Amino acid sequence: MTRRLAVRLAAVAAALGALALLPLWVSNPYVLSVLTLAALYAIFASSWDILSGYIGQLNFGHAVFFGVGAYTAGFLGPHLPPLLVLPAGSLAAVVFAFLVGLPCLKLRGPYLSLTTLVFPLILERLAFTFRDVTGGEYGLRVEPPLSGLGLYFAALALLAATLAVLLAVAESRLGRTFRAIGDDDLAAMAAGINTTRYKLGAFVLGAALAGLGGVLYAYHLRHVGPEVFGLFTSFAIVIMGIVGGMGTILGPAIGAFFLTLLGESLREIETYRLLVYSGVMILCVLYLPRGLWSLGEALPALARRLGRAAPR
Amino acid sequence: MSAMLAVERVTKRFRGLTALTDVSFEVARGEMAVVIGPNGAGKTTLFNVITGFARPEEGRVTLAGEPLAGLAPHAVVRRGLARTFQIPRPFKSLTVGETVALARPSAAGKVLGAPGTGDAERVLRLVQLWERRDEPAGTLSQGDLKLLEVARALATNPALLLLDEPYAGLGPGEMARLTRVVMDLHAAGLTLVIIEHKLRELMKLTRRVIVLHYGEKIADGTPAVVAREPRVLEAYMGGRGGMAEHA
């Protein structure tokens, strides 16, 4: 294990440990519910990052994967024990990763991103079309096996596992291969790397984790409907990733917490949430191009500079 | 079976433009061939066709007798045919050492022994970048980037290495360094095909020059023979395009 990986895992353990202890002092169910949602978005945004941030193929359709996971909870929840619904949601998302990935991933550059934008919209339409199964615009009621504090802990545990897996991948030879493809895919081919296969691998890995999160997302909402495939959901993930700092795994997770909490604190202007998100993203792109994550690198540097300046 | 590389009647068109017309040549095992020609002669297109980055409309390419038709670029590399790019394409978020360690070695190669852990070091020492192994690839000088291109290609353990204008953009000291590397590889028995403008640098090294002009092979032989070829003189000295500065 590299030092950097150890430091980051320790930071994740500390941050999520603190969140896990929070209910000792804060018992307000609304606060816990918001934090649960933030943790779920953090799962989506960090699992999005492996393809989008590392390989550099901006995926506008990540909602496909957690949406499929959520619908799986809706379909199978009444028939399967909860511990089987989670892997089923993940598996369903992986199946869709192949369905979307195989035709798309041979595309290079912006074409892949544009294509990924279309798939959630197709699924949204299908949810309306097959209303006997999906409940159409009303969606499906989901009876959650966990709620409140239990669901909060489950979301934190899944987030911890997701971040640990993704960080371990990112710091491995596999992660370096992803970064190399993101840097220059022609050069990666010239180094003997099968870029299509690795792109598909990143797609599948991200989908598997997002599918797990999608099941908990349905439990959290107690409902799943076609809006999960809506444009807002897909863009929200992209914005969280960019605001947090792409290609860092932890950055998008931080972005998810930041924007979810910001969104909730501005609840009165709910309608304008996407506007607020976009505004924050534009500010980030202009003044903090590598996202909130880079604050973590900028602050120590600033402190060192102040520290050097002080003795004089 | 003596030819390491055989290019057989290759024609490549882009829309209306014919970039390569019926080009054929062979490169023997252990040989060093230099491909020259004025800008736009089709040299890089030839490399792209050989390495699977572009598909020819007609003709075929074989490596040690095995046809490469339809293979993706990475699969061509796994067969033992590596290339560099004219303008370096570094992995900016990796270090020099990580770049070389990432290359997938073929089983066909001449440069490395059996795939093993010492390969990255051997390759980096060969191009004199071992001391810079922990530096980010993006921060290297132009000359070092060119050598890193060579190192990354060598790390795929090729039997045949294609170098696309390795001397372009190098200072005199860097040129000498690259020439040493090329001579070492040649001496080690690696088959080399080099695209180059800097003839003076290479005429000392090679006994085989292939001249392309407007997508056609117009000469093929020793430097002395090629230099006397009337069509070469016309292409470089006179007539169309004024290419005298390359000679």
Q: What is the per-residue pLDDT for A43?
A: 97
Q: What is the per-residue pLDDT for B114?
A: 47
On whether any CB of chain A is under 8 Å from the CB of B136, the answer is no
CA atoms within 13 A on the CB side of B1: 0
Share of chain B above pLDDT 70, in %: 90
Average of pLDDT values for A283-306?
Answer: 77
Average of pLDDT values for A192-219?
Answer: 94
Report chain B residues whose CB lies below 8 A from the CB of A190. Answer: 51, 73, 77, 82-85, 89, 152-153
State how far residue B80 is from chain A, nearest Cα, in angstroms. 10
Q: Which residue bears the tokens 């000792």?
A: A24
On whether any CB of chain A is under 8 Å from the CB of B157, the answer is no
On whether any CB of chain A is under 8 Å from the CB of B83, the answer is yes
Average of pLDDT values for A82-110?
Answer: 88
- Cβ contact B96:B140 at 8 Å: yes
pLDDT at A225 over 50: yes
Q: Inspect the interface and report whether the beta carbons of A189 and B77 lie closer than 8 Å.
A: yes
Q: Tell me: the pLDDT tens digits for A155-182?
A: 999 999 999 999 999 999 999 999 999 9
**Closest-approach residue (CA) in chain A for B77:** A192
What gap in Å lies between CA B81 and CA B157, rounded to an integer? 9
pLDDT-based confidence at B241, cuts 50/70/90? very low
What gap in Å lies between CA B167 and CA B82, rounded to an integer? 18
Report chain B residues whose CB lies below 8 A from the CB of A176. Answer: 94, 98, 102
Instruction: Tell me what the pLDDT averaged over chain B comes to.
Output: 85
pLDDT at B129 over 60: yes
User: How far is CA A51 from each of CA A199, A306, B227, rounded to the nearest angstrom?
Assistant: 7, 38, 52
Q: What is the CA radius of gyration of chain A?
A: 19
* Geometric angle at alpha carbon A71, from A69 and A76, rounded to 5°: 95
Q: Inspect the interface and report whether the beta carbons of A190 and B94 lie closer than 8 Å.
A: no
Report chain B residues whose CB lies below 8 A from the CB of A192. Answer: 74, 77-78, 82, 103-106, 156
User: How far is CA A126 from each of CA A132, A135, A208, A305, B236, rounded to the nearest angstrom?
Assistant: 11, 11, 22, 57, 64
**Residue among B44, B51, B84, B91 with most chain A CBs within 10 A, to mutate:** B91
Which of B161, A86, A266 shows the shortest CA–CA distance to A275?
A: A266
State how far residue B225 is from chain A, nearest Cα, in angstroms. 34
What gap in Å lies between CA B214 and CA B21, rounded to an integer? 8
**If you count them, how many residues does chain B have?**
247
Q: What is the per-residue pLDDT for B246?
A: 45
Q: What is the per-residue pLDDT for B110?
A: 56
Q: Inspect the interface and report whether the beta carbons of A191 and B77 lie closer than 8 Å.
A: yes
Report chain A residues whose CB lies below 8 A from the CB of B91. Answer: 179-180, 183-184, 187-188
Report chain B residues whose CB lies below 8 A from the CB of A247. Answer: 93
- Max mean pLDDT among A105-119, A205-219, B184-198 falls in A205-219
Q: Tell me: the pLDDT tens digits for A147-159?
A: 888 999 999 999 9
Q: Which residue bears the tokens 């959290």?
A: A220
Share of chain A above pLDDT 70, in %: 96
Q: Tell me: the pLDDT tens digits for A181-190?
A: 999 999 999 9
Q: Inspect the interface and report whether the beta carbons of A191 and B90 lie closer than 8 Å.
A: no
Which of A221, A43, A85, A35 shows the shortest CA–CA distance to A140?
A: A221
Q: What is the per-residue pLDDT for B198?
A: 67
Q: What is the per-residue pLDDT for A286?
A: 82
Q: Which of A182, A183, A190 sits opposite B83 (nearest CB)?
A: A190
State how far residue A188 is from chain B, nearest Cα, in angstroms. 8
State how far residue B163 is from chain A, nearest Cα, in angstroms. 12
Q: Inspect the interface and report whether the beta carbons of B153 and A190 lie closer than 8 Å.
A: yes
**Residue among B102, B146, B156 with most chain A CBs within 10 A, to mutate:** B102
Q: What is the per-residue pLDDT for B189?
A: 86
Report chain B residues whose CB lies below 8 A from the CB of A188. Answer: 74, 91
pLDDT at B247 over 60: no
* Residue A279 vs residue A175, higher pLDDT: A175
**Residue among A4, A173, A184 with most chain B CBs within 10 A, to mutate:** A184
**Residue among A2, A186, A189 with most chain B CBs within 10 A, to mutate:** A189
pLDDT at B240 over 60: no
- Among A99-103, A238-242, A270-274, B54-58, the range scoring the smallest mean pLDDT is A270-274
Superfamily name with CATH number, domain B3-246:
P-loop containing nucleotide triphosphate hydrolases (3.40.50.300)
**Closest-approach residue (CA) in chain B for A54:** B93
Q: Which of A179, A187, A193 sits opposite B89 (nearest CB)?
A: A187
Report chain A residues whose CB lies below 8 A from the CB of B90. Answer: 183-184, 187
State how far residue A184 is from chain B, nearest Cα, in angstroms. 6
pLDDT at B89 over 90: yes
Q: Inspect the interface and report whether the beta carbons of A183 and B92 lie closer than 8 Å.
A: yes
Q: Which of residues 85-124 of B touch A (CB under 8 A)?
A: 85, 89-94, 98-99, 101-106
Q: Which of A176, A186, A189 sits opposite B102 (nearest CB)?
A: A176
Please give the backbone phi and psi of residue B135, each rounded to the nearest 5 degrees, phi first. -85, 145
At position A300, the amino acid (one-letter code) is P
**Residue among B84, B85, B93 with most chain A CBs within 10 A, to mutate:** B93
Q: Tell me: the pLDDT tens digits for A3-14?
A: 888 888 999 999
Instruction: Tell me what the pLDDT averaged over chain A comes to.
Output: 88
Report chain A residues whose CB lies below 8 A from the CB of B99. Answer: 180, 191
Q: Under an 8 Å CB criterion, which residues of A touch B?
A: 173, 176-177, 179-180, 182-184, 186-196, 247
ipTM above threshold 0.85: yes
Q: What is the per-residue pLDDT for B127?
A: 87
Q: What is the per-residue pLDDT for B91?
A: 94
Q: What is the per-residue pLDDT for A166?
A: 96
Pairing of strands B58-63, B66-67: antiparallel
pLDDT-based confidence at B245, cuts 50/70/90? very low
